[in-house]
């Protein structure tokens, strides 16, 4: 089964062809980072317009790189939620039209479920139940993964997502958007013990995440340091201290969640999981007791291979969508 995947929920226009859920025949992407950079974050209307310009050529490129023609595609999978409503609508409309024109199944995929599925794309024999963690720019949550398509929500963030906190702290440090990779680079040169920062706790819910207080704390620290001189070394130290405290907080809450049920594995997905310091820290902390799965290289951030891959399993489970009915949703929960 060769599935064409389409992804336009945010600022990446992405298309891919994946065979039988795992074999990536092509995976192409056109990022809008440069166009959004002047705004310090994603400008929704601009994102939609750029998707309109780029999507059709990208679909053609994905087919060409897979050495396929439209008639060789067995089904089309597309992200229908969550994300920017205008941006999603571009990909969704194209997928609907193409599936109707070709007379092939149309499958709506939840973008955050696909982020978790990305962690499964390296391995077809993952032991479940597992603990799933999505750490992206739009989302931060933990779920119990009973099997593919069956989730129980454990906790979420009550304010900023992890990626958002990285992006905002990066902005405070005058680093370009997206801030995650920039903070990771600076952190390599800094002392993570230099600043005593703390991540937030949520009253009556020790599993929930809260990062807005930490973000404010970083801002006050910068303002204090700027009163004298804010050196490059201090900037590196602050990036390292911030990153460390965030990852320790995630690991602490992961441990607590794992004490509530018998998990065999930990699955991590979303843009932040491409951070190598996070991968190393999780491997050191949990690697001897659990099987740990991160997305293959390039599949942590938004991409269409995870959409096409998950689409295959939905198709096998007969979870086919109605192109005349499925609407874009800005917010939708996994469980």
Interface residue with ligand KG4 among 5, 132, 178, 192 (CB under 6 A) is 178
**By CB under 6 A, is residue 190 in contact with ligand KG4?**
no
Quick one: which segment of 24-32, 54-62, 172-180, 288-296 binds ligand KG4 (CB under 6 A)?
Answer: 172-180
Burial label for 291, CB within 10 Å (0-12, 13-18, 19+), is middle
Token digits of residue 330: 């800005």
Helix pair angle (232-258, 179-189), 10° resolution: 110
Quick one: which segment of 66-74, 159-167, 232-240, 289-297 binds ligand KG4 (CB under 6 A)?
Answer: 159-167
**By CB under 5 A, is residue 182 in contact with Zn ion?**
no
Token digits of residue 239: 């990036």
CB nearer Zn ion, residue 12 or residue 182: 12
**By CB under 5 A, is residue 302 in contact with Zn ion?**
yes
Interface residue with ligand KG4 among 181, 213, 296, 330 (CB under 6 A) is 181
CB 105 within 8 A of CB 76: yes
* d(C-alpha 267, C-alpha 257), whole Å: 13
For residue 309, is the peptide bond before it cis, meaning its omega torsion is within 30 degrees of 0?
no
State the nearest-atom distance from the C-beta of 236 to ligand KG4, in Å: 15
**By CB under 6 A, is residue 184 in contact with ligand KG4?**
yes
Quick one: which segment of 131-139, 161-169, 207-215, 317-325 binds Zn ion (CB under 5 A)?
Answer: 131-139
Element at 80 (helix H, strand E): strand 75-81
* d(C-alpha 335, C-alpha 255), whole Å: 21
* d(C-alpha 210, C-alpha 174), whole Å: 23
CB nearer Zn ion, residue 160 or residue 302: 302
* d(C-alpha 36, C-alpha 44), whole Å: 9
Query: What is the contact mask toward ligand KG4 in residues 87 to 126, using x (rule: CB under 6 A)?
Result: ----------------------------x-----------
CB nearer ligand KG4, residue 116 or residue 272: 272
Quick one: which segment of 18-26, 190-198, 265-273, 289-297 binds ligand KG4 (CB under 6 A)?
Answer: 265-273
**By CB under 6 A, is residue 301 in contact with ligand KG4?**
yes
Residue 145's binding partner out of ligand KG4, Zn ion, none, with CB under 5 to 8 Å set by partner kind: none
* DSSP assignments along 230-283, one per residue: --HHHHHHHHHHHHHHHHHHHHHHHHHHHTTS--SEEEEESGGGG-HHHHHHHH
**By CB under 5 A, is residue 7 in contact with Zn ion?**
no
Find all residues with CB under 8 Å of 173, minimum gap 6, and list them.
Answer: 179, 182, 183, 186, 222, 235, 238, 239
Interface residue with ligand KG4 among 138, 200, 309, 323 (CB under 6 A) is 138
State the nearest-atom distance from the C-beta of 304 to Zn ion, in Å: 11
State the nearest-atom distance from the C-beta of 178 to ligand KG4, in Å: 4
**Binding positions for Zn ion, 133-152, rule CB under 5 A:** 136
Collapsing DSSP to helix, strand or coil, 188 comes out as helix
**By CB under 6 A, is residue 166 in contact with ligand KG4?**
yes
**Cα angle vertex 98, ends 93, 99, to 5°?**
100
* d(C-alpha 155, C-alpha 84), whole Å: 23
CB nearer Zn ion, residue 112 or residue 199: 112
Residue ranges in contact with ligand KG4 by CB under 6 A: 10, 115, 136-138, 163, 166-167, 178-181, 184, 270-272, 274-275, 301-302
Residue ranges in contact with Zn ion by CB under 5 A: 136, 302
């Amino acid at each position: 089964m060769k599935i064409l995947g389409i992804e336009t929920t945010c600022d990446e226009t992405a298309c891919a062809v994946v065979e039988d859920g795992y074999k990536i025949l092509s995976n192409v992407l056109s990022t809008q980072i440069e166009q959004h950079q002047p705004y310090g974050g994603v400008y929704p209307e601009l994102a939609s317009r750029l998707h309109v310009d780029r999507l059709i050529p990208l679909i053609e490129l994905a087919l060409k790189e897979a050495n396929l023609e439209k008639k060789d595609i067995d089904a089309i999978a597309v992200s229908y939620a969550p994300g920017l409503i205008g941006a999603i609508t571009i990909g969704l409309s194209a997928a609907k039209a193409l599936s109707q024109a070709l007379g092939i199944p149309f499958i709506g995929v939840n973008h955050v479920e696909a982020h978790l599925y990305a962690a499964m794309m390296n391995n077809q024999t993952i032991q479940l139940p597992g603990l799933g963690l999505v750490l992206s720019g739009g989302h931060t949550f933990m779920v119990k993964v009973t099997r593919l398509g069956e989730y129980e929500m454990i906790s979420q963030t009550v304010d900023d997502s992890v990626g958002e906190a990285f992006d905002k702290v990066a902005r405070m440090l005058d680093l370009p958007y997206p801030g995650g990779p920039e903070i990771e680079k600076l952190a390599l040169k800094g002392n993570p013990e230099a600043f005593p920062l703390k991540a937030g706790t949520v009253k009556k819910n020790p599993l929930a995440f809260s990062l807005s207080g930490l973000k404010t704390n970083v801002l006050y620290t910068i303002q204090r340091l700027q009163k004298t001189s804010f050196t490059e070394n201090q900037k590196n130290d602050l990036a390292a201290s911030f990153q460390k405290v965030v990852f320790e907080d995630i690991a602490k809450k992961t441990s607590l969640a794992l004490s509530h049920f018998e998990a065999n594995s930990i699955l991590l997905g979303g843009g932040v999981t491409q951070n190598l310091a996070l991968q190393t820290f999780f491997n050191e902390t949990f690697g001897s007791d659990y099987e740990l799965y991160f997305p293959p290289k390039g599949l942590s951030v938004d991409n269409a291979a995870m959409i096409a891959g998950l689409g295959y399993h939905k198709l096998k489970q007969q979870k086919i969508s109605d192109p005349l009915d499925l609407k874009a949703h800005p917010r939708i929960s996994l469980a």
